Chain A
Amino acid sequence: MKIKYDRDLCQGHNRCYLLAPELFDVDDDGYAVLLVDGEVPADLQEKANLAADNCPEYAITLVE
């Protein structure tokens, strides 16, 4: 599983950072910063799902 994050869609709701801080940080302006490059570790896949399923702007998608 890989994460695709679209910075242009992100409005800084910070839901991903709250649900999956291992996968997302926030910058000084509150926009998400994706922390993983490539495969999501198996033990973080549930959190990746949560991050994607709770983004109000559909800025996060998962690619199997």
Chain B
Amino acid sequence: MANDSQVSDWKTDFDHTVADWAQNAPEIWAEFREECPVAHTDRFGGCWFPATHEDISEIAHDTEHFTSRSVIVNDWGPMGEAPVGGAPPITSDPPFHQMARKILLPAFGPKAVAQLEPTTRDVCRELIADLLESAADNEGRADAATGYAQHIPVRIIAKMLGLPESDGDTFRGFIHRIMETPGQAEVAEDDILLDTYLERTVGDRRENPGGSDLISYLLDLEMEGEPLTDNHIGGTIALLIIAGIDTTWSAIGASLWHLAQNPEDLRRLRSEPDLMPFAVEEFLRFYAPVTMARSVSHDITFKDAEMKADDWVLLPFPSANRDEDAFSAADEFLIDRKQNRHAAFGLGIHRCLGSNLARMELRIALEEWVKAIDTMELQSSDPDAVRWSTGQVRGPRELPLIISGSMEQNP
């Protein structure tokens, strides 16, 4: 496969943190599923890439041989100590994992999340109104990633955590440094570091207790009769900020990218509102943003792969979702797909804690968008005009569109 990075052959030397990978990922995964199916690179100290649904599912369910203590592949190797890890519960292994997860589950169930729906709708409407207004002054030009998708999860998570919306740029800085270019991004002098931010936030909240936000909830929680440690609380807040933002923003952006190129799907979503629940799951299947990682606990031969302790293993759920052995017409986007066991939120005990929140945000973002937007198309037919993020979360970071519409039917 042609590429202009220093990668000689994706199958033996892949690098998921370069632009060529991000721009062509679905084609690379298809090649892996067909030819490998467990690819390997010596980069990052050694990293495996199982590409089929079967293999990804097997590893995701095997917490004995594969630890979650470090879930973002980086150059320094797995960090964090099992079974807690740096950002519980995503970095935790059994049995600690179950306790750390259970205390958070009630805040993210479908009924708790439904209470955030009206706020989410207001946020989406306000953003669309602003976008239409600026598009009207710019011959219809608007960026649906930087002007819409990225703001929705930032505002909702800030509200859930009781943090100011104006911290959104700070959150996006953490995400860029930690997720898109782990270890590579230059830190500017005035950048706030995540640890400093967490320490300050937890300190502030200890001095002003009693709020109804999620951080106050964490401060009041007990696990086995003891309050959570500051490390545990900070790690969990970091997880909620980092995992809850670029993931959802990627899913919303990729869905809008699809609609800009498929006007028939846009028309159907507008005229057949009952399709929306199926469409949301198909967007999640086809454009699943998140690839997780594990590391090998002790040497194991997995299929033909000789995996060594501390090797990285990526769990590319987006590749699982395009596997012909798991989905009929896997490579086709079918907006009314009725059988869809997609793995966008992972498989096994680490199923995305925020899946109901993400799904709600994606649905409302699309509902409000299709109500207000009459026409949308890509500004340029050049695929490189849309920049896909590198690393383990994939979505369009710039999405230049030409749009028209009005808020009239959407007061």
Which A residues contact B (CB, under 8 angstroms)? Answer: 11-15, 17-19, 26, 28-30, 50, 53-58
Contacts and interface: CB of A to CB of B under 8 A. Distances in A.
A34 to B, nearest CB: 16
Interface of B: 102, 105-106, 108-111, 277, 281, 338-343, 345, 347-349, 351, 355-356
Given A11-B351, A12-B105, A30-B110, A56 B338 contact: no
A55 to B, nearest CB: 6
Contacts of B347: 11, 56-57
Give chain A's interface secondary structure class.
loop
A56 B355 contact: no
B339 A56 contact: no
B110 A56 contact: no
Contacts of B277: 18-19
Contact of A13 (B106, B108, B345, B349): B345
11 contacts: A11-B348, A11-B351, A13-B355, A14-B109, A14-B356, A26-B111, A29-B106, A30-B108, A53-B340, A56-B345, A56-B347
Contacts of B345: 13, 56
A41 to B, nearest CB: 20
A36 B392 CA distance: 40
Contact of B109 (A19, A26, A55): A26
Nearest to B355: A13
B317 to A, nearest CB: 10
Nearest to A10: B351
Contact of A56 (B102, B111, B342, B356): B342
B339 A53 contact: yes
A14 B348 CA distance: 14
Given A11-B349, A18-B277, A53 B110 contact: no
Q: Most B CB atoms within 10 A — which of A12, A29, A55?
A: A12
A20 B375 CA distance: 34
A53 B106 CA distance: 26
A14 B110 CA distance: 8
A11 B343 CA distance: 12
A53 B351 contact: no
Q: Most B CB atoms within 10 A — which of A15, A28, A30?
A: A30
Nearest to A17: B110
Smallest CB-CB A-B distances: 3 pairs: A53-B339, A11-B351, A30-B109
Contacts of A54: 281, 339-341
A14 B111 contact: no
A34 B180 CA distance: 41
Contacts of B341: 53-56, 58
B14 to A, nearest CB: 26
A19 B109 CA distance: 15
Given A13-B351, A56-B347, A29 B105 contact: yes
B350 to A, nearest CB: 9
A19 to B, nearest CB: 7
Given A18-B277, A28-B105, 20 more contacts: A11-B347, A11-B348, A11-B349, A12-B351, A13-B355, A14-B109, A14-B110, A15-B281, A26-B111, A28-B109, A29-B105, A30-B105, A30-B106, A30-B108, A50-B338, A53-B338, A53-B339, A54-B281, A56-B347, A58-B341
B102 A29 contact: yes
Nearest to A21: B110
Nearest to A29: B105
Nearest to A14: B110
A44 to B, nearest CB: 16
A15 B337 CA distance: 14
Contacts of A18: 110, 277
Contact of B110 (A26, A55, A57): A26
A29 to B, nearest CB: 4
Contacts of A56: 341-343, 345, 347
